[in-house]
């Protein structure tokens, strides 16, 4: 069943109805060609989801009646914030899509010394809108219970200021050859983690030193060099696996 997200304020649980506004209207009526009586799965962006039936379609809104509330735990317990050294655009889009599927909570675009794709202020808004759209589509496809937050672009210094919010912070570093993610998170009780991943050219040594000085542990992802888009996906997956947070037994 196709999934859409609506803001809580558009859900009325006393009359068991909800409304879809904006760009999704076109998607539902023109692309999916949904008609009255057809069903959609609607999520409130905060882990509640409902099976609904379309009872009115027009250009301004789609009205649905709620048939059933669904109880499925979609979100991991762990909040993962990925600090992604900004790579070139197409890679960034891939990363946003994949990290959304895997279940991260926030993706932070990090400006690093070796980031090739520099954002210019004029185009930044448009680019971020497109990135948000990619996250939204991936959230629908992967049936997330929440839509990951996109933050950025932030400087290295700003990132260092924000890491205190995380219970633990790690940086994936290809020259680290002793500590694995498994080791870095062994025995610690964490609800949130920050994961730093460098851009195509990696972090420079001063950046790694600066991170380590701020208690960010360097970790290895193995004895091979992964591309940046592989590294953030692998690191997030390993963390969820090691904390037994992927669901199932
Ligand atoms: N500096 C390297 C490769 C950078 S790979 C070069 O140009 O040869 C891009 C990013 O992926 C790195 O900054 C790091 O965060 C992550 N990464 C890739 N392979 C890794 C590994 N084996 N262990 C830990 N991190 C890795």
pLDDT, tens digit, 9 for 90 and up, residues 236-246: 999 999 999 99
CA distance 176 to 233: 18
The range of the structural domain enclosing residue 147 comes to: 79-243
Q: Which of 36, 70, 104 is the last residue of a domain?
A: 70
- Are 139 and 239 part of one and the same domain? yes
To test the pocket of ligand 1, the residue of 226, 232, 233, 239 to mutate (highest count of ligand atoms within 8 Å of its CB) is 226
In a domain, 249, yes or no: no
- Tens-digit pLDDT profile for residues 99-138: 999 999 999 999 999 987 767 777 788 899 999 999 999 9
Is residue 116 in contact with ligand 1, taking CB distance under 6 Å? no
Mean per-residue pLDDT of the chain: 95
Q: How far is the CA of 230 from the centre of ligand 1 (A)?
A: 9
Verify that 134 and 26 share a domain, yes or no. no
Q: Summarize pLDDT for 50-104 with one digit per residue, the tens.
A: 999 999 999 999 999 999 999 999 999 999 999 999 999 999 999 999 999 999 9
Report the CATH number that the domain containing residue 238 is assigned in CATH.
Answer: 3.40.1280.10
Same domain, 57 and 98: no
Q: Are residues 150 and 58 in the same domain?
A: no
Split into its structural domains, the chain has a count of 2
Instruction: Compute φ and ψ for 50, nearest 5 degrees.
Output: -135, 140
Which of 95, 174, 199, 234 should be mutated for ligand 1, with most atoms under 8 A from CB? 174
Angle at 54 between CA 19 and CA 37, to 5 degrees: 170
Of 53, 70, 87, at which residue does a domain stop? Answer: 70
Cβ of 173 less than 6 Å from ligand 1: yes
Q: Is residue 205 part of a domain?
A: yes
Q: Are residues 51 and 148 in the same domain?
A: no
Q: Say how far apart CA 201 and CA 241 lie, in whole Å.
A: 27
Of 70, 97, 127, which residue is a domain's last? Answer: 70
CATH number at residue 65: 2.40.240.20
Do 64 and 171 lie in one domain? The reply is: no
In a domain, 111, yes or no: yes
pTM, 2 dp = 0.95
Ligand 1 center to residue 68 CA distance, Å? Answer: 46
Question: Quick one: DSSP state of residue 165?
Answer: G
């Amino acid at each position: 069943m196709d999934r859409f997200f609506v803001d809580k304020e558009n859900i009325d649980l006393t009359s068991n109805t909800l409304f879809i506004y904006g760009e999704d209207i076109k998607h539902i009526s023109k692309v999916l060609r949904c008609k009255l009586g057809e069903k959609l799965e609607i999520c409130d962006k905060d882990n509640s989801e409902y099976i609904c039936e379309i009872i009115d379609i027009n250009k301004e809104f789609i009205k649905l009646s709620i048939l059933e509330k669904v109880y499925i735990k979609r979100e991991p317990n762990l909040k993962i914030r990925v600090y992604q050294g900004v790579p070139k655009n197409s890679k960034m889009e891939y990363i946003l899509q994949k990290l959304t599927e895997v279940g991260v909570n926030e993706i932070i675009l990090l400006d690093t010394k070796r980031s090739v794709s520099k954002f210019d202020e004029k185009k930044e808004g448009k680019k971020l809108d497109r990135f948000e759209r990619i996250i939204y589509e991936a959230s629908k496809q992967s049936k997330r219970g929440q839509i990951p937050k996109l933050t950025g672009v932030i400087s290295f210094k700003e990132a260092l200021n924000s890491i205190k919010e995380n219970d633990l912070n790690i940086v994936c570093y290809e020259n680290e050859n002793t500590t694995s993610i498994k080791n870095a998170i062994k025995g610690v009780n964490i609800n949130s983690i920050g994961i730093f991943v460098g851009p195509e050219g990696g972090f420079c040594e001063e950046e790694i030193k600066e991170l380590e000085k701020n208690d960010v542990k360097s970790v290895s992802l193995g004895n091979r060099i992964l591309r940046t888009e592989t590294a953030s996906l692998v690191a997030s997956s390993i963390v969820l696996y090691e904390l037994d947070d992927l669901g199932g037994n």
